[in-house]
Amino acid sequence: MRRDRLAGAWEKYGRYIIGLVVAIVVLVASVIGYDALRTGQREAASARYDALLTQIAEAEADEKITRLLAFSAAEDNGYGALAQFSAALTQAEEGQYDNALDGFDALAGRRALPDSLRDFASLQAAIVLLDSGGSLADIKERIGDLVEDENGLQPMAREIMALAFSAHDQPLEARDLLMQQIGDSSVNSLTRDRASIMLQSVKGGLLALPEVEEAEGDE
């Protein structure tokens, strides 16, 4: 009962994070595209990427993934990285978790990318692990110090880690992170409100804890 209640937090709120992630990817695309065009050396890559998006707009998921990965392998530039991000996101949406995880881990390890984009890839990997029932240790490895360091991704890292703790029956740890989120004045009101709602699910697990432990002791 307690496990089901806590796992429900991910079922109810995890998909919202994935939707938020897609929005962030749009921002990533803008940043990479601006940098490429600013140098005046990658306008052709920009045109090729735009053409690819047009060509695969109505394609099936597997074809999209194949074309995006082929583009990424051929383009050693920001647009190639963007194609790899998009391919991994599509793989995650299609339930191809192992491939998606490999893609995001590879992006997180690309030293040529800005740290912010590598951190973003690590968060994506953590989300994939949550969706696929990955271990808490593996999720922690991807999140790293993002949950502690003051950075633009910290609120999202807290939320993912709180959901991971909930899914792995560690409501006390989940509660602590959500309370940090609520008490952080730098976090926007929508994020704080969502943390408050999630906290109610976690508190439900805490209230059930003594009853569950007593029942287990009677067996």
pLDDT of the residue at 149: 79
Does any domain span residue 115?
yes
Task: Tell me if 163 sits within 8 A of 174, measured CB to CB.
Answer: yes
- Residue 217 domain-assigned (yes or no): no
How many domains does the chain contain in total? 1
CATH number at residue 172: 1.25.40.10
Per-residue model confidence (pLDDT) at position 32: 64
Domain around 164: 6-212
Does 1 fall in a domain? no
Is 58 within a domain? yes
Would you write out the chain's pLDDT as a tens digit for each of its 219 residues? 445 555 555 566 666 566 666 666 665 665 666 566 556 657 788 889 999 999 999 999 999 999 999 999 999 888 888 899 999 999 999 999 999 999 999 999 998 888 888 898 999 999 999 999 999 999 999 999 999 878 888 999 999 999 999 989 899 999 999 999 999 999 999 899 989 999 988 877 665 544 434 434 444
143 inside domain: yes
User: Angle CA(110)–CA(36)–CA(100) in degrees, nearest 5?
Assistant: 35
Domain membership of residue 133 (yes or no) is: yes
Among 153, 212, 143, 155, which residue's Cα sits nearest to residue 188?
A: 155
Q: How far is the C-alpha of 129 from the C-alpha of 121, rounded, in Å?
A: 13
Residue 128 lies in a domain: yes
- Find the largest Cα–Cα distance for the chain: 72
Asked if the structure places residue 154 within a domain, the reply is: yes
